[in-house]
Structure 1
Amino acid sequence: MSDDICLVLTTCPDRETAERLSAMLVEQRLAACVSAGSEVTSTYPWQGRVECESEIPLTIKTTRARVGALKQELVAHHPYDVPEILVVPVSDGLDEYTQWIRDWIQ
């Protein structure tokens, strides 16, 4: 259903980018909440080399109906050529919290 809750996971190269993207997504009502985590170290292959970089993980709370627009905005405003964007459906949650997400997004 279009009002099903989803988590969208991404990473940012620094705290400033994380804060800028988080504010943009909430202001545009593409997300009800974005949680920025502590710095992590990501190891991954890129252009024939193994890279090891510090990143800030974001957990974005939204609805299925907003995922497409949210992905477009992330791609348009993210500094990475290919940003991590993973969509995780939420099968259950506190009714009052999931309704709060829906109320902000709609």
Structure 2
Amino acid sequence: MHSLLSTHPCLRLLSRALSMATGSPEASVPTGSDYIAGSVSVVFVTCPNDKIAKNIARSVVEKRLAACVNLVPQITSVYEWKGKIEEDSEVMMMMKTQTALAPSLTEFIRTVHPYEVVEVITLPVQQGNLPYLHWVKDSTTTHQ
């Protein structure tokens, strides 16, 4: 592995950065072998306002149903509802969680969310920054 790192300029930079970060000249490039594709998901939920979004975000993190929730303010949603075209200002929530927790997370959101029909969309993460993906898994618990 070390010879591969020393041959390509980009990999040499990565090797040097890893060595500096760990304090070890033997730092290696992380492989994806210990992450199971799709075991972490991003869950999208829209909310009518910032206050409700923050309350839900705090609750799901406290309950360890999500490791992190990003709030994206001031999105505009255009949709058909009960035969009429609607346009609303909303807040988008992006939650990171274990895929196994998505059903529990969805059910919790349905109990606390004010919408009659709540948008909860779960997308599996195929790959990403391994330390972050491991942190998501460590920050959430599986409810069996």
The TM tier, using the shorter chain, reads over 0.9
Determine if the alignment matches structure 1 residue 34 to structure 2 residue 69: yes
Measure the CA separation in 1 of the matches of 2:85 and 2:125.
32
Q: C-alpha displacement at 1:104, in angstroms?
A: 0.8
Determine if the alignment matches structure 1 residue 68 to structure 2 residue 103: yes
Measure the CA separation in 1 of the matches of 2:87 and 2:73.
16
Q: Which structure has the higher relative contact order (CA within 8 Å, separation 6+)? A: 1
Q: C-alpha displacement at 1:65, in angstroms?
A: 1.2
Measure the CA separation in 2 of the matches of 1:38 and 1:69.
25
Between Structure 1 and Structure 2, the one with more helix by share is: 2
SS of 1:45's partner is: strand
SS of 2:52's partner is: helix
Q: What code does the residue aligned with 1:40 have?
A: I
Aligned to 2:81: 46
Report the count of equivalent residues. Answer: 105
Measure the CA separation in 2 of the matches of 1:96 and 1:60.
17
Determine if the alignment matches structure 1 residue 16 to structure 2 residue 51: yes
Measure the CA separation in 2 of the matches of 1:88 and 1:15.
23
* Percent of residue pairs identical: 34
Find runs of 4+ consecutive structure 1 residues off by over 2 angstroms: none
Contact 2:60–2:105, Cα closer than 8 Å, also in 1: yes
Between Structure 1 and Structure 2, the one with more strand by share is: 1
Q: C-alpha displacement at 1:38, in angstroms?
A: 2.2
SS of 2:106's partner is: helix
Measure the CA separation in 2 of the matches of 1:19 and 1:52.
22
TM-score, reference length from structure 1: 0.95
RMSD: 1.1
The structure number with the bigger radius of gyration is 2
